[in-house]
Amino acid sequence: MSWFAFCRWRILGVVLCILALSHYRTLPTEGTTLLVPEVGKNVVRHFALNGTDVGTFDVVGLEEPSGLALDAQGHLYVTNFAEGEPGTGTIRRFSPTGEDLGYFATGFHGPTGLAFDPVGTLYVAVGRSDNGAIRQFSPTGEDLGNFVTGLNYPIALAFDPAGNLYVTVAFDNTIRRFAPTGEDLRVFGTTVNLPIGLTFDQAGNLYVASGLDNTVRRFAPTGEDLGTFASSGLAGPSGLAFDPAGNLYVSNAFRPTIRRFAPTGEDLGDFATDLDFPYFMVFRYCSAWGSSLSREE
């Protein structure tokens, strides 16, 4: 059973396909936009900060897109979960304007989360059950091998300001932390129930989507559990991302919507609706000259 099939069964059952949408094959070159993969439709959606639906980035080669990441030059990387079968998962790369640059890496077993470290090395969570690992790739696509292994279904990745890697390990209900050398720095959090997405705020607090509790948990940089940050309107929370104003966006895999919360935790309502299994998200910050930076998952 694939990860997404498991979630459908474990949380709410069947996810309905909704709405036919406009399609485009280029990416906006100005403004800040939110990119969201729709696993059920094999597309990546774009939304302006005011909630306007910019359209659907729809290209051949997306198969259950789940993880998104942007490098320092603005290239978009997308993991194709591809039913989670061994050897079928891939990472697809696109130029800052949306040109399909083909496969960046292939041959994965259920790839999901992506994250770049400070020097541009790409990390990807792969594998199911207790054979999960975090793989590394150089900016040129060279396979640098496993960073860590033996994880019981790693899902999402995020780096803290010190370069430590945080990993949600879904089937252990934990968050693991690893030094840049790969040293295991201990379990970071144990009060989450099916942890999925994670991200940091500007103060260094860690936010984690607790999939089976339908909550977002918050942890101090020391690891102290700061309790539930958000729960209203959540159903299968997965991806997390902060906008420039510090508002938190949460993708609901099973509602299916994107919910927005103020820095205080106030529920600001639905940001986007009628999505088909939205998953990890990334903000794309662009100037009129096409430069791009991102705040991931």
- pLDDT digits 0-9 by tens, 34-89: 999 999 899 999 899 999 988 887 677 788 999 999 999 999 999 999 876 777 89
Higher-scoring residue by pLDDT: 225, 187: 225
Q: Is the peptide bond before 195 cis (omega within 30 degrees of 0)?
A: no
Q: What pLDDT score was predicted for residue 169?
A: 94
Q: Is residue 278 part of a domain?
A: yes
- Per the domain annotation, does 67 fall within a domain? yes
- Give the position of tokens 């860690």: 206
The more confidently predicted of residues 295 and 180 is 180
The predicted structure's pLDDT at residue 188: 80
Structural domain containing residue 179: 33-296
What is the CATH number for 126? 2.120.10.30
Say what the pLDDT of residue 23 is.
32
Q: What is the pLDDT of residue 3?
A: 43
For residue 264, the model assigns a pLDDT of 96
| Mean pLDDT of the region 273-289 | 78
Q: How confident is the model at residue 129 (pLDDT cuts 50, 70, 90)?
A: low
Whole-number pLDDT of residue 32: 87
Say if 87 falls within a structural domain: yes
Q: How much is the mean pLDDT over the chain?
A: 84
Task: Determine the average pLDDT of the residues in 201-222.
Answer: 95
Domain contains 2: no
| pLDDT of 278 strictly over 80 | yes
Tell which wins on pLDDT, 76 or 286.
Answer: 76
Question: How far apart are the C-alpha atoms of 216 and 211, rounded to whole Å?
Answer: 8
Compute CA distances 261 → 250, 266, 274, whole Å: 8, 5, 19
pLDDT of residue 30: 52
Q: Is residue 142 predicted with pLDDT exceeding 90?
A: yes
pLDDT of residue 109: 87
- For residue 277, name the pLDDT band (cuts at 50, 70, 90): very high
**Is 26 inside any structural domain?**
no
Position 231 pLDDT exceeds 70? yes
25 occurs within a structural domain? no
- CA dihedral 146→39→252→157, nearest 10 degrees, is 10
Q: What percent of the chain has pLDDT over 90?
A: 65
**How many separate domains does the chain show?**
1
Query: What's the mean pLDDT in 227-252?
Result: 96
CA distance 252 to 209: 10
Q: Find, among 163, 193, 188, the residue nearest to 177 by Cα.
A: 188
Taking alpha carbons only, the member of 41, 35, 31, 85 closest to residue 62 is 41
pLDDT of residue 184: 93
pLDDT of residue 286: 61
Q: In Å, what is the CA distance from 291 to each residue of 57, 243, 285?
A: 19, 17, 8
Query: Hey, what are 279's tokens?
Result: 């998953």
Mention every residue, 6+ apart, whose C-beta is less than 8 A from residue 234.
214, 215, 216, 250, 252, 255, 259
Tell me if 21 is assigned to some domain: no
Nearest to 44 by CA among 71, 80, 6, 83: 80
In a domain, 159, yes or no: yes
Confidence bin at 25 (pLDDT 50/70/90) = very low
